[in-house]
Structure 1
């Protein structure tokens, strides 16, 4: 019974970490995309 509980805990910990990391990844992608848009806009204005 204890073994099963441990497996469940590990599973939920891994799942939680994965979801946190994937949301951080998405947020950084979005931030990078908006920075890139700003950069492109700045370059377009200069040209």
Structure 2
């Protein structure tokens, strides 16, 4: 039974160094990026 919720898939990569990988994943269909690509940044103290 459907609950009516919208579900989405995403790929989350950590740290700024992974931005090129995220971008290439979106541009190449054979890459492991699913749905939207999110690059999670951490605040450095």
* Greater helix proportion: 1
Tell me the TM-score range normalised by the shorter chain. Answer: under 0.3
**TM-score normalized by structure 2?**
0.27
Structure whose CA Rg is larger: 1
* Greater strand proportion: 2
Higher relative contact order (CA 8 A, sep 6+): 2
